[in-house]
Amino acid sequence: MIKLNNIAKRYQNRAGFTYVLQQINLDIAEGDFVTLMGPSGAGKSTLLNIIGMFDSDYEGEYFFNGQSVHAMKPKERAALNKEQIGFVFQQFHLLDDMTVAENLELPLSYRNLKKSERQAIVADTLDRFHIVGKKDLFPAQLSGGQQQLVAIARAIVAKPALILADEPTGNLHSDQGREIMDLFKKLNEGGTTIIQVTHNEDWAKYGNRQIMIRDGWMETSSAQIAQRPLHSSRS
């Protein structure tokens, strides 16, 4: 599903370039549940943003279902993102001024669906996530766990093939975190490919692959291991 060849990302500063990602080579198959781990600042979220097509400023090749994402125009990339990817954020990013149902409907409203179709899908999703009773509440009226539940429901409402989750349990206590991870597991078992970033080793075990990233280098992967050079990453 996803193939990354020699992906690198760097920033220019007075001293030259600072690399935040280097020589990332990665294959992710459909149905995988991948966990990206590593210390803060290692480049996990940057890699997730590249895979999520929010960031196009990188070197290397990125293929999604055989399509060359790295060569795409912004519009094509946005269309592919809209069609295939759902995103879950650590801060939930629910829109405060919209009810739960309206938040769920929002991604659908950008996808040329009729109002009746949208309402049917939202109703189905509310039911599936057992939050029908909360559909008219605003995010501020929900607990953190409930908010993340809604955020995940919003991420899958448009039926994406891939869910990217950036520390989805980072702002939740452990019981709530476990519920969310159970939900991800269930979605993955239903065929959705999931890539999550987490610091929590227990949550990492929910995935079938773990990838460790340090200082922009991919250290370990169940699929592939990149060699880390001895010298500094700065050039």
- What is the contact surface with other proteins in residues (CB under 8 A)? 45, 49, 52, 54-55, 78, 81-82, 87, 89, 91, 93, 95, 97-98, 102, 105-107, 109-111, 154, 158
Based on CB atoms, which residue is closest to other proteins, 73 or 231? 73
Give CA separation, 128 vs 122, 154, 156, 183, in Å.
10, 12, 11, 11
Is residue 35 classed as helix, strand or coil in its secondary structure? strand
By beta-carbon proximity to other proteins, the closer residue of 54 and 63 is: 54
Q: Cα separation of 4 and 12, whole Å?
A: 23
CB closer to other proteins, 140 vs 230: 140
Nearest-approach distance from CB 23 to other proteins, in angstroms:
21
Nearest distance from C-beta of residue 191 to other proteins, angstroms:
21
Query: Which residues are registered as beta bridge partners of 194?
Result: 33, 163
- Among 88, 90, 170, 81, residue whose Cα is nearest residue 129: 88
Q: Could you give phi then psi for residue 207, rounded to 5 degrees?
A: -85, 165
Work out how close the CB of 134 gets to other proteins at its nearest, in angstroms, rounded to a whole number. 17
Residue 32 or 167: which CB sits closer to other proteins? Answer: 167
Residue 159 CB, nearest approach to other proteins (Å): 12
Q: Tokens 């999931």 identify what position? A: 194
At 162, list the tokens.
């891939």
